[in-house]
């Protein structure tokens, strides 16, 4: 969809056990015999010094082993130690991150038009949940350009403010207004239920050619959302979602798009974490959290949708904002903060988040009283991962 030390037990070398005894000193008759030989005084003196050195080394080893084993350092694996910064303000911060602008466009025109393609069978309640999240991003109502009723802090629209800090070469910021401009439902699985990175572009072509969608080069994002029974190339193994742009040879136009799959039946422990956890963690790690809207698959999708929308808006043609030198495998503003949801997060710990009265976990508020758990994103100002629920 959508990057610590670990606690290890201390092992003592058995050959240096603290129970090991020192060799006994030479018997007295050796000293007496030695004194009857020439140079007995010097010989005796050397023997005394040797025994003293052996006893000293043995005592020092025992003391060191006692200090090492008596006071072990215990680390709670559910709350990893802070390794990147002593300040809670810079989760994920690093001087090694070189996020640069590569002179390409960002989605600065308002509003950003989202075209939803529902591939497969979707319940209306699931569609409404995803649409409520997308519409929670805007601080204004696109149709009337009036201020929308603000969601309680911390909110999804405040989260998007970090995305809007990114600019193009003219200084124009990513738009703060997002509109759902159209929807297309493909209930018949017109391209089968096993998609690839190429065949998903054919799904977009079908939607465009059937005329529900315009060809929106400047403001458009085409969002393909696949049902739980649809597989995708590399899904669960390497990706939970991805974005790119269509090829004119496949669609007829170059259009930014993103794909996100519902992992509920295939790999919720991978793509809907922390609402599901891998079986190998058992009882020794963090337990699964209760999703804010009661749907593990869709609640998990929402954070991946947020991840891809943020990256599409700042890097729509894969030539704008990213780290690294390879545009075919860019490290983008969502990738840099994957798995971070709150203050103190890192190393498998999601950070400090909130729970409502029913024990449901969230970190942001949306429209109509909705609550969501959404990952943080990289701030070009803080040079660190940032979210509206930060505690400092």
CB 112 within 8 A of CB 221: yes
Q: What is the mean pLDDT of residues 262-275?
A: 96
CB 236 within 8 A of CB 130: no
Q: What is the pLDDT of residue 326?
A: 84
CB 267 within 8 A of CB 259: no
> Nearest 5°: phi and psi at 321?
-100, 115
Q: What is the mean pLDDT of residues 116-126?
A: 98
Closest CA to 2 of 319, 261, 220, 341: 261
Query: What is the pLDDT confidence band of residue 81, given thresholds at 50, 70 and 90?
Result: very low
Q: Give CA–CA dist 211/190, Å, rounded.
A: 16
Model confidence pLDDT, tens digit, residues 27-58: 443 333 344 444 444 454 554 455 554 544 44
Report the run of H or E that residue 194 belongs to, with start and end: strand 194-195
Query: What is the pLDDT confidence band of residue 178, given thresholds at 50, 70 and 90?
Result: very high
Report the run of H or E that residue 259 belongs to, with start and end: strand 256-261
CB 339 within 8 A of CB 375: yes
Position 68 pLDDT exceeds 50: no
Model confidence pLDDT, tens digit, residues 210-259: 878 889 988 999 999 999 999 999 999 999 999 999 999 999 999 999 99
Q: Give CA–CA dist 341/307, Å, rounded.
A: 12
The beta strand positions in 233-300, using DSSP E, are: 241-245, 256-261
Closest CA to 91 of 366, 363, 367: 363
Q: What is the pLDDT of residue 96?
A: 58
Q: What is the mean pLDDT of residues 304-313?
A: 98
Position 359 pLDDT exceeds 90: yes
- pTM, two decimals, is 0.76
Dihedral of alpha carbons 11, 12, 14, 15, sign: positive
Model confidence pLDDT, tens digit, residues 377-390: 999 999 999 999 99
Q: Which residues contact 52 (CB under 8 A, 6 or more apart)?
A: none
Q: Give CA–CA dist 386/392, Å, rounded.
A: 11
The secondary structure of 62-81 as a DSSP string is: HHHHHHHHHSPPP--TTSPP
Of 375 and 23, more confident: 375
Q: How far is CA 348 from the centre of its chain?
A: 8
Q: How far is CA 36 from the centre of its chain?
A: 79
Closest CA to 260 of 295, 307, 212: 307
CB 327: neighbour CB atoms within 10 A?
A: 13
Closest CA to 242 of 207, 187, 274, 198: 198
Q: Which residues of 26-53 are buried (b: 16+ CB within 10 A; e: fewer)?
A: eeeeeeeebeeeeeeeeebeeeeeeeee
Query: What is the pLDDT confidence band of residue 325, given thresholds at 50, 70 and 90?
Result: confident
To 5 degrees, how large is the angle CA 370–CA 376–CA 379? 130
Alpha helices in 78-198 (DSSP H): 124-136, 156-163
CB 262 within 8 A of CB 226: yes
Q: What is the mean pLDDT of residues 99-103?
A: 95
Query: What is the pLDDT confidence band of residue 19, given thresholds at 50, 70 and 90?
Result: very low
Q: Give CA–CA dist 55/58, Å, rounded.
A: 5
- Token couple for 188: 């018949």
Determine the length of the chain. Answer: 392
Position 16 pLDDT exceeds 60: no
Q: What is the pLDDT of residue 377?
A: 97
Q: Give CA–CA dist 285/277, Å, rounded.
A: 9
């Amino acid at each position: 969809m959508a990057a610590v030390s670990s606690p290890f037990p201390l092992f003592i070398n058995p050959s240096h056990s603290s129970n090991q005894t020192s060799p006994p000193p030479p018997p007295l008759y050796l000293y007496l015999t030695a004194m009857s030989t020439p140079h007995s005084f010097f010989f005796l003196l050397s023997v005394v010094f040797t025994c003293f050195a052996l006893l000293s080394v043995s005592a020092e080893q025992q003391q060191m082993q006692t200090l090492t084993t008596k006071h072990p350092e215990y680390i709670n694996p559910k709350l990893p130690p802070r390794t990147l910064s002593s300040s809670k303000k810079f989760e994920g911060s690093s001087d090694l991150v070189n996020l640069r602008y590569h002179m390409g466009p960002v989605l600065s025109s308002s509003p950003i038009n989202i075209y939803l393609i529902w591939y497969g069978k979707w319940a209306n309640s699931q569609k409404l949940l995803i649409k409520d999240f997308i519409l929670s991003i805007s601080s204004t109502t696109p149709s009337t350009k009036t201020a929308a009723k603000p969601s309680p802090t911390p909110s999804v629209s405040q989260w998007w403010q970090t995305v809007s800090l990114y600019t193009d070469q003219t200084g124009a910021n990513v738009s703060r207004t997002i509109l759902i401009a159209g929807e297309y439902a493909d209930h018949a699985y017109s391209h089968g239920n096993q998609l690839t990175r190429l065949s998903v572009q054919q799904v977009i072509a079908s939607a465009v050619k059937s005329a529900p969608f315009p060809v929106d080069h400047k403001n458009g994002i085409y969002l393909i959302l696949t049902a739980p029974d649809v597989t995708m190339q590399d899904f669960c193994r390497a990706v939970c979602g991805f974005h790119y742009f269509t090829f004119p040879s496949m669609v007829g136009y170059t259009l930014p798009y993103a794909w996100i799959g519902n992992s509920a039946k295939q790999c919720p422990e991978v793509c809907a974490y922390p609402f599901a956890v891998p079986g190998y963690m058992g009882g020794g790690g963090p337990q699964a959290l209760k999703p804010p809207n009661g749907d593990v698959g869709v609640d998990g999708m929402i954070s991946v949708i947020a991840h891809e929308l943020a990256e599409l808006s700042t890097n729509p043609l894969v030539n704008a904002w990213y780290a690294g030198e390879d545009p075919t495998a860019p490290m983008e503003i969502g990738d840099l903060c994957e798995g971070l949801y709150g203050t103190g997060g890192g190393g498998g710990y999601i950070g400090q988040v909130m729970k409502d009265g029913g024990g449901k976990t969230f970190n942001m508020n949306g429209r109509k009283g909705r609550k969501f758990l959404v990952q943080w994103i990289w701030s070009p100002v803080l040079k660190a991962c940032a979210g509206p629920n930060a505690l400092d």
